Amino acid sequence: MECINIDHKLSLFNDHWSPRIIASLNGQDVKIAKFSGAFDWHTHSDADEMFLVLKGSFNMEFRDRVVEVHEGHMIVVPRNVEHRPVADAECAVLLFEPTGLLNTGDGPASDRTTAGT
């Protein structure tokens, strides 16, 4: 058991849309990621996703609306809901997801597809 310094972990990488696993518990991975620009539209048929903004802000786009998620705020995207995160400027996000969940969801794999490293 060790304390995890999230700011330090964020300083170890600069790439966007490539989550890093910083802890695991009860079948869930705790991940950090940096967002910039628009991600792919996708759904997860078997999993909800939680996004907590650590720094900055981003918009969670849904087909029928957009939700602004600011620093210190979080959003849970229920399974089977098509969504796309979009960040006008770089932001840092903490995610809770089932272990092994692919970030691009149920659709075809792309060069962005990962379950985290």
Indicate the residue type of 17: W
**Using one digit for the tens of pLDDT, what is the confidence trace for 40-61?**
999 999 999 999 999 999 999 9
pLDDT greater than 70 at residue 9: yes
**Using one digit for the tens of pLDDT, what is the confidence trace for 55-88?**
999 999 999 999 999 999 999 999 999 999 999 9
Q: For the chain, give me the number of helices (H) and strands (E)?
A: 1, 7
Supply the pTM of this predicted model. Answer: 0.90
Q: Is 24:99 a contact under the CB 8 Å cutoff? A: yes
Q: What percent of the chain has pLDDT over 70?
A: 88
Q: What CATH number was assigned to the domain covering residues 6-98?
A: 2.60.120.10
